[in-house]
Amino acid sequence: MDFSKSMAVAASGLRAQTQRMKVIAENIANASSTSPVPGGEPYRRKIATMKPEFDRELGATMVESGKPIADRSEFRSQYDPGNPNADAKGYVKLPNVDSLVEIMDMREAQRSYEADLTVMDATKQMLVKTVDLLK
């Protein structure tokens, strides 16, 4: 694999992890929101997806972020009879977002992003050393 391929593959990983972090940030931002209308559903957690994509021009497999999918797990509920979104029993539906899970996903995405940066830095250093050898 030449230098341009390794840089392109690492860059595709950076883009994919950036999209993943955006989805996670949206989940965290909506973790305690309720439905905008009484009786409606609150925010539903999204799961970032990624897919391999072969680049014929480079002859390398890249990673691309796919469309986020909705997490179909059950909503949480909280007893709050004074809330205008409460049902007849006094329970309010809350998003199916677990902040701890989101924080762990964010940390994993951050580590993957850092690994891609390390690959780009190592490639750059190898390129500089190669140029130095040619002098």
Between 82 and 105, name the one with better pLDDT: 105
pLDDT tens digits, 67-90 = 999 999 999 999 988 888 888 888
Which residues, 6+ apart, have CB-to-CB distance to 51 below 8 Å? 63, 64, 66
Question: 14 to each of 94, 109, 119, 122, how far by Cα in Å?
Answer: 32, 10, 11, 15
Residue range 126-130: mean pLDDT, rounded: 91
Task: Say what the alpha-carbon torsion angle 17, 18, 19, 21 is, to the nearest 10 degrees.
Answer: 80
pLDDT for position 1:
54
pLDDT tens digits, 11-50 = 999 999 999 999 999 999 999 998 877 778 999 999 999 9
Q: pLDDT class for 117, splitting at 50, 70, 90?
A: very high
Q: What does pLDDT average to over the chain?
A: 93
Q: Which residues, listed in sequence order, are joined to residue 92 by a DSSP beta bridge?
A: 78
Share of the chain above pLDDT 90, in %: 74
Q: Tell the burial category of 58 from Cβ atoms under 10 Å away from its Cβ (0-12, 13-18, 19+).
A: middle
Structure tokens belonging to residue 47: 């799961």
Per DSSP, 78 falls in state: E
Q: pLDDT class for 2, splitting at 50, 70, 90?
A: confident
pLDDT for position 105:
97
Distance, in Å, from the CA atom of 127 to the CA atom of 123, rounded to the nearest integer, reads 6
pLDDT for position 100:
96
Whether the Cβ atoms of residue 95 and residue 75 lie closer than 8 Å to each other = yes
